Amino acid sequence: MKNEILISIIIPVYNVERYLHSCLNSLISKNMKSVEIILVDDGSSDSSGDICDKYDNKYDFVRVKHISNQGVSYARNLGLKMARGKWISWVDSDDTVCPGFIDIIKKLVQIEKIDVFKFGYQVLDLNTNFKMSQKSFNPKSLISETKEMAMYDLASVKYGNYLWCRLFKKKLFNNLEFPVGNNCEDAFLMIEILNNAQNFALYDELLYYHFSRPNSVTHNSDKTKLMLQSKDWFESNIRLTNKLKEYGFQKAYEKSESSILDIAYFLARDIDFRGYPDVGIYAKADEILNNYKKYINPTTSKKRIIQFFLRSKCRFFYDYIYRLSGKV
């Protein structure tokens, strides 16, 4: 009789031959009982697919599916369909986890009544020298959170919409699919996932290392591609803001609404002053900036009101100040 699968770790894979070994080796521990790793090779043109097969042949807890290139959303959806676990963990194929990660998340999912856990992570550049230390489960690091707190974090910089710093009950994904063709698939769907949940907790320990790669969105030198990705990001954040309002999470809504103005400013600045192409987002960004009063509420600080005014009414001056000081 096969062991019941408790946790499915889903890893979409695409042209990551340089990093995939490190990713998988960081996950594999001595006690993989009740854990499966699902690798969805999204039509890689390098040796990533072969690497997946080698791990599949070596370990009975690894499962591989090869598909033609359909994009990360399609790969995620397929991984969910393949998953047999009661819990879902998402790992990017060029990231790593801390030693002890598997043992810790196995402890976490044994805690009753929690639907979503989030945990600490660190963002590193490719060439950063760092040392990972062995971690073990620490019950004192577990902090209960309200649904309002979890929703507020969606609009925060620290945790945002990231899948890889969270652990989810699989049932939260019922009747949900990541939107194929959207570059910000996690941002688009996360509020729906969390809205299906009732109980949340933070495991306040560093468990995950997310690497900023030269070919990532933030390092993309193709201005058109970068702006298309930014368009998805912008639209996903607008959708998030509207959904937070619809679902009645007022504080999270106000924070997200404020963030929309920030995003609109930077996109408009890149188009106005930096020669980035308009890919159908300038009109919306311009509308938001010119209607800045909508984004001011009674709790808005004087500093934020000044920022809003400068961004909407005097963009060139704000850009000049921004370049001089680095911030306002």
Residue type, 25: N
Model pLDDT for residues 70-128, shown as the tens digit of each residue: 999 999 999 999 999 999 999 999 999 999 999 999 999 999 999 999 999 999 987 77
Q: Is the per-residue pLDDT at 295 higher than 70?
A: no
Nearest to 238 by CA among 279, 284, 291: 284
Q: Return the axis-axis angle of helices 20-27 and 48-58, rounded to nearest 10°.
A: 20
Beta-ladder partners of 142: 203
Q: How far is CA 149 from the centre of its chain?
A: 17
Q: Can you give the pLDDT at residue 248?
A: 95
Q: Rounded mean pLDDT of the chain?
A: 85
The dihedral region occupied by 113, where left means phi > 0, alpha psi between -120 and 50, and beta the remainder, is left
Query: 246 versus 261: which is more confidently predicted?
Result: 246
Q: Evaluate whether 9 touches 36 at the Cβ level (below 8 Å).
A: yes
Model pLDDT for residues 6-26, shown as the tens digit of each residue: 999 999 999 999 999 999 999
Q: Which two tokens stand for residue 131?
A: 């040392």
Q: Which two tokens stand for residue 255?
A: 């924070």
Model pLDDT for residues 263-279, shown as the tens digit of each residue: 887 788 778 777 788 77
- What is the model's pTM? 0.84
Q: What is the mean pLDDT of residues 187-204?
A: 93
Q: Is 89 helix (H, G, I), strand (E, B) or coil?
A: strand
Model pLDDT for residues 199-246, shown as the tens digit of each residue: 999 999 999 999 986 554 444 457 877 787 778 778 888 888 999 999
Radius of gyration of the chain (CA): 21
DSSP 145-204: E-HHHHHHHHTSSSSTT-STTEEEEGGGGTT----TT-TTHHHHHHHHHHHT---EEEEE
β-pairing, 166-169 with 116-125? antiparallel
β-pairing, 200-212 with 142-145? antiparallel
β-pairing, 142-145 with 96-97? unpaired
Q: Of the ranges 49-53, 121-125, 244-248, 323-327, which one carries the lowest mean pLDDT score?
A: 323-327
pLDDT band at 186 (very low <50, low <70, confident <90, very high): low
Cα–Cα dist 37/5, whole Å: 10
C-alpha atoms less than 13 angstroms from C-alpha of 173 in its C-beta half-sphere: 23
